[in-house]
């Protein structure tokens, strides 16, 4: 069967939205996926989960029909969801499998649609503010909305979801005063510029990040270690925590510490994205930031990171956060001495985020991709942690 024959096949195939597929995965239902993207794209990033069984079989190998070796891997007693990059090829493959008698559907908009999922969950914390965590399952990116009094700020916003932030701010009846980044990101396109243009929010950037040569069309406010930012009835404390980058900065409100890419709930930052040649020195700086700025915080401080991993389990409230005291007890890297820490961190660095050089240049304001180009640039995993495996014991 040729590609043209596949394209001309009649009949509609049942589809499933990315949101509904995620609901199935989150509910614990068994899910069987046939990913028809190339092996390279599949290896770089794919849908995962404890209850997910997935087979990768590239579309171009299915143009002549379904090979016997693939048929042997497909279940007859369970629905199969076929997916591809954008939803076109998967629909044709699903039609073919349907003719073979399989119970099948295909993922609408493919992995591009999966990357559009963005979820809002409020943290249950004792702070005089509404604090929400935004979760992007496709990449593990986390952003935050803090609303207090009649003002709000967004921390580490993603450009692709500018409209969601605006809608939520309106729903809370507040005005977006600030849009701030913890550092110059290498895994996604920052949304601070778009938010500033569309809401008049002031961009906030840590001083060392600004020193990397940012070229912004909008004015921005620079903050330094020890500064505070007023948002309604609360103040955000600025805590410079270099290591992941020279500009990496945490923000603290009440007992919630937004650690950016400095400390995650399962791992610590990788030190090589800004300057690969200085990775060891940066790892030493990261150790000092963790031991002097982060681990000296009270044990009941809530660590709210900028990423979560595929293997992370959400809390009962649906958020990816952890008490600092718990991380001290469970994360091996946090109990190492400096030399051991540095060697451990640089010895197991995962691949760099896809298109990281273009993403950094965009976030510095040196490149100006349109919305679709920006979205394509950041597809894939974030890979901002120091290790592909969790560092917890």
CA-to-CA separations, 34 to 19, 123, 140, 325, in angstroms, rounded: 18, 35, 22, 41
The one catalytic residue in 25, 80, 82, 84 is: 84
Q: Are 151 and 177 in contact (CB under 8 A)?
A: yes
Burial string for 282-305 (b: 16+ CB within 10 Å, else e) reads bbbbbbebbeebbeebeeebbbbb
Please name every residue paired with 235 in a beta bridge, in sequence order, or none if there are none: 230
Query: 337: exposed, middle or buried (C-beta count within 10 Å: 0-12, 13-18, 19+)?
Result: exposed
List, edge to edge, every strand of the sheet that includes 175-180.
119-122, 130-136, 141-148, 151-155, 175-180, 202-206, 220-223
Which residue shows structure tokens 């701010």?
Answer: 169
Residues 6+ apart with CB under 8 A from 11: 95, 98
Q: Are 121 and 146 in contact (CB under 8 A)?
A: no
Q: Is 141 annotated as catalytic?
A: no
Burial string for 90-114 (b: 16+ CB within 10 Å, else e) reads bbbbbbbbbeeebebbbbbbbbbbb
Cβ count within 10 A of residue 39: 11
CA distance 99 to 93: 10
Distance, first Cα to last Cα, the chain: 51
Active site residues: 84
């Amino acid at each position: 069967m040729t590609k043209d024959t596949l394209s001309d096949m009649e009949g509609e195939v049942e589809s499933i939205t990315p949101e509904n597929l995620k609901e199935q995965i989150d509910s614990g239902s068994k899910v069987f996926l046939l990913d028809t993207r190339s092996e390279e794209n599949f290896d770089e990033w794919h849908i995962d989960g404890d209850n997910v069984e997935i087979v990768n079989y590239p579309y171009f190998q299915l143009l002549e029909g379904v090979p016997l070796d693939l048929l042997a891997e497909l279940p007859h007693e369970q629905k199969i969801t076929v997916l591809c990059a954008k939803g076109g090829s998967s629909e044709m493959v699903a039609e073919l499998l349907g003719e073979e008698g399989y119970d099948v559907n295909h993922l609408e908009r493919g992995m591009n649609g999966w990357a559009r999922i963005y979820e809002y969950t409020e943290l249950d914390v004792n702070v005089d503010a509404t604090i929400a965590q935004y979760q992007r399952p496709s990449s593990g990116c986390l952003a935050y909305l803090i609303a207090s009094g009649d003002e709000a700020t967004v921390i580490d916003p993603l450009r692709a979801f500018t409209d969601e932030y605006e809608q939520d701010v309106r729903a809370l009846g507040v005005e977006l005063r600030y849009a701030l980044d913890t550092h110059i990101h290498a895994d996604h396109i920052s949304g601070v510029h778009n938010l500033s243009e569309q809401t008049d929010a002031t961009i906030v950037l840590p001083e060392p990040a600004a020193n990397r040569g940012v070229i912004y069309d909008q004015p921005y406010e620079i903050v330094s270690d020890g500064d505070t930012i007023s948002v309604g009835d609360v103040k955000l404390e600025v805590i410079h925590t270099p290591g992941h980058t020279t500009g990496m900065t945490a923000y603290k409100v009440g007992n919630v510490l937004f650690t950016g890419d400095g400390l995650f709930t399962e791992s610590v930052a990788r030190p090589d994205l800004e300057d690969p040649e200085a990775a060891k020195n940066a790892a030493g700086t990261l150790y000092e930031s963790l031991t002097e700025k982060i681990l000296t915080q009270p044990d009941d401080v809530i660590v709210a990171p900028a990423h979560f991993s595929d293997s992370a389990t959400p809390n009962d409230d649906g958020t990816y956060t952890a008490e600092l005291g718990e991380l001290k007890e469970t994360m091996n890297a946090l109990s190492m001495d400096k030399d051991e820490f540095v060697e451990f961190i640089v010895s197991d660095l995962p691949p760099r985020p896809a298109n990281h050089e273009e993403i950094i240049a965009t976030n510095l304001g040196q490149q100006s991709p349109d919305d679709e180009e920006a979205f394509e640039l950041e597809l894939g995993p974030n890979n901002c942690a120091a290790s592909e495996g969790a560092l917890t014991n």
